[in-house]
């Protein structure tokens, strides 16, 4: 699913920029996708009241047909900018409604004692897709253009549409949740999340640190201003960061027997914050590559463990709504953080932004450590 989605977005944005020559048109795509964010919460409800496998088939099938449409209009030279905007908006809406179905189905496929491994494999697969997708895009778009790239994306979209039907686990919703009204179910999910001894603190930790330190968008600034390398440096920094993320996910596999999973989140986030400070202070490119790889790894460990804790501490009938709250917090923080670090970088520079973000992130972790004891005290009991 990720490869199909990334190929569609990469080919769409590249074609749109080449066609219009306007950076504002790319910004409009971002605004369209941001506007669909609130639907994540409703998508979590859908994952709890509808068959999760069928929800995945429908939403991923919609993406397949959107890619099929773009492939057809591109090959017939009918592709127009408005088609990109419409398909981007519609697929964003449908994807938001289906995003929670995948994590909600995971407890049906994997036993609780193996949940850390399951979330790790899921996260690593996502990160590998983030590495592979740009390479596939570069290979086909440079040689053949948008039409063939959309076609390749359509093939991946077809695979993602069929795959959920091959899952043997039952995707049917809990009978109790299915009987109550949707409004009551939404209220029930909100009450559960807000009264949970761990989840609000986890979400607040993610939001606070991400808003202060969304460093990935500063790679071009570091590449040019600090290392004098331009696009080549940007690509290498991004690749090192993604590779570190994959390695971090694999590290999590060795933490399965560690019961204090909340402390792993806190320790990895502190390590991440220290990495931000070092990244801001470092003037040597190859050292910068190592640091951003470590940032990717520590971020991945924290993210994977947060998702694991959500799975381990939430009843199956509420997992869709709890997962959607986590996704909403994380994606909102990404969007706000992108704006915040860009604005701050204009004032104090990219290096200063990373140093300030790292220092403030340490304070946030310490505040969560003190004010939300449920996280540091959480110990997973497999019984």
Extract long-range pairs of 103-107: CB within 8 Å, 24+ residues apart: 103/307, 103/310, 103/311, 103/319, 103/320, 103/323, 104/44, 104/47, 104/48, 104/52, 104/319, 104/320, 104/323, 105/52, 105/53, 105/56, 105/167, 105/169, 105/171, 106/311, 107/311, 107/316, 107/319
Instruction: Report the pLDDT value the prediction gives residue 16, as an integer from 0 to 100.
Output: 84
- What integer is the mean pLDDT of 276-292? 91
328 within 8 A of 189, measured Cβ to Cβ: no
Instruction: Report the pLDDT value the prediction gives residue 33, as an integer from 0 to 100.
Output: 67
Say what percent of the chain tops pLDDT 90: 25
All structural domains of the chain, each given as residue ranges with its CATH number in brackets, are 2-173 (1.20.1250.20), 189-377 (1.20.1250.20)
pLDDT of 65 > 90? The answer is: yes
Distance CA 108, CA 130 (A): 26
Say what percent of the chain tops pLDDT 70: 93
Torsion angles phi and psi, residue 79, rounded to 5: -60, 130
Residue whose C-alpha is closest to residue 119's, from 376, 263, 301, 266: 301
- What integer is the mean pLDDT of 256-281? 90
Instruction: Report the pLDDT value the prediction gives residue 39, as an integer from 0 to 100.
Output: 82
Question: Which structure tokens are listed for 50?
Answer: 């509808």
- What integer is the mean pLDDT of 64-90? 93
Instruction: Report the pLDDT value the prediction gives residue 168, as an integer from 0 to 100.
Output: 83
Question: Which structure tokens are listed for 378?
Answer: 């959480």
Distance CA 343, CA 179 (A): 48
Residue whose C-alpha is closest to residue 307's, from 51, 122, 44: 122
Lowest mean pLDDT among 50-54, 332-336, 372-376: 332-336
Instruction: Report the pLDDT value the prediction gives residue 189, as an integer from 0 to 100.
Output: 84
- What integer is the mean pLDDT of 88-103? 84
Instruction: Report the pLDDT value the prediction gives residue 80, as an integer from 0 to 100.
Output: 92
pLDDT of 78 > 80? The answer is: yes
In terms of pLDDT, which residue wins out, 171 or 241? 241
Position 295 confidence tier, pLDDT thresholds 50, 70, 90: very high
User: In this predicted model, what pLDDT tens digit does every residue of 96-108 receive, in sequence order?
Assistant: 888 788 888 887 8
Q: DSSP for 312-354, please give it.
A: HHS-GGGHHHHHHHHHHHHHHHHHHHHHHHHHHHHHHHHHHHH
Instruction: Report the pLDDT value the prediction gives residue 75, as an integer from 0 to 100.
Output: 95
Instruction: Report the pLDDT value the prediction gives residue 330, as an integer from 0 to 100.
Output: 80
Backbone angle region of 32, left / alpha / beta, with phi > 0 → left and psi within -120 to 50 → alpha: alpha
Lowest mean pLDDT among 6-10, 26-30, 289-293, 301-305: 26-30
Distance CA 342, CA 220 (A): 11
Half-sphere exposure of 234 (CA within 13 A, CB side): 10
365 within 8 A of 241, measured Cβ to Cβ: no
Position 278 confidence tier, pLDDT thresholds 50, 70, 90: very high
pLDDT of 271 > 90? The answer is: yes
- What integer is the mean pLDDT of 321-336? 80
Residues, the chain, total?
Answer: 383
Instruction: Report the pLDDT value the prediction gives residue 231, as an integer from 0 to 100.
Output: 60
Distance CA 98, CA 383 (A): 31
User: In this predicted model, what pLDDT tens digit does every residue of 100-143 receive, in sequence order?
Assistant: 888 888 878 887 777 777 888 877 787 788 778 878 887 888 78
Instruction: Report the pLDDT value the prediction gives residue 369, as an integer from 0 to 100.
Output: 93
**Radius of gyration of the chain, Cα coordinates, nearest whole angstrom:** 21
Residue whose C-alpha is closest to residue 330's, from 62, 54, 103, 143: 103
Instruction: Report the pLDDT value the prediction gives residue 149, as an integer from 0 to 100.
Output: 92
Instruction: Report the pLDDT value the prediction gives residue 27, as an integer from 0 to 100.
Output: 62
Global confidence as pTM:
0.75
Lowest mean pLDDT among 54-63, 64-73, 126-135, 196-205: 126-135
- What integer is the mean pLDDT of 213-230? 74
User: In this predicted model, what pLDDT tens digit does every residue of 365-375 receive, in sequence order?
Assistant: 999 999 988 88
Name the average pLDDT for the chain. Answer: 84
Distance CA 308, CA 120 (A): 8
């Amino acid at each position: 699913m990720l490869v199909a989605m990334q190929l569609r977005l990469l080919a769409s944005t590249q074609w749109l920029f080449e066609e219009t020559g306007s950076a504002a048109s790319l910004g409009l795509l971002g605004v369209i996708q941001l506007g669909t964010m609130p639907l994540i919460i409703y998508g979590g409800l859908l994952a709890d009241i509808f068959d999760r496998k069928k929800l995945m088939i429908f939403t991923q099938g919609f993406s397949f047909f959107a890619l099929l449409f773009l492939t057809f209009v591109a090959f017939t030279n009918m592709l127009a900018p408005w088609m990109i905007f419409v398909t981007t908006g519609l697929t964003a809406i449908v994807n938001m409604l289906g995003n929670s179905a995948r994590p909600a189905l995971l407890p049906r496929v994997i036993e609780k004692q193996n949940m850390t491994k399951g979330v790790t494999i899921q996260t690593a697969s996502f990160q590998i897709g983030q590495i592979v997708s740009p390479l596939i895009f570069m290979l086909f778009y440079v040689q053949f253009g948008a039409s063939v790239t959309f076609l390749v994306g359509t093939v991946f979209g077809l695979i993602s549409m069929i795959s959920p039907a091959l899952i043997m686990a039952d995707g049917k919703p809990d009978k109790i949740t299915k009987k109550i009204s949707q409004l009551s179910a939404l209220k029930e999910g909100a009450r559960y999340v807000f009264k949970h001894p761990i989840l609000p603190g986890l979400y607040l930790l993610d939001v606070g640190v991400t808003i202060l330190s969304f460093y990935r968008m500063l790679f071009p600034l570091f590449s040019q201003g600090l290392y004098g390398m331009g696009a080549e440096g940007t690509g290498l920094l991004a690749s090192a960061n993604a590779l570190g993320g994959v390695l971090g996910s694999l590290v999590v596999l060795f933490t399965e027997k560690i019961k204090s999973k909340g402390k792993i989140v806190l320790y990895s986030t502190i390590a991440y914050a220290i990495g931000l400070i070092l990244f801001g202070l470092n003037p040597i490119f190859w050292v910068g590559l190592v640091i951003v790889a470590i940032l990717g790894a520590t971020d991945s460990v924290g993210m994977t463990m947060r998702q694991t804790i959500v799975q381990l501490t939430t009843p199956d009938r509420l997992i869709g709504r709890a997962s959607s709250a986590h996704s909403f917090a994380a994606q909102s923080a990404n969007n706000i953080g992108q704006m915040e670090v860009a604005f701050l970088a204009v004032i104090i520079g990219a290096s200063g932004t990373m140093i300030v973000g790292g220092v403030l992130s340490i304070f946030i972790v310490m505040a969560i450590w003190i004010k939300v004891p449920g996280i540091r005290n959480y110990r997973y009991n497999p019984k």
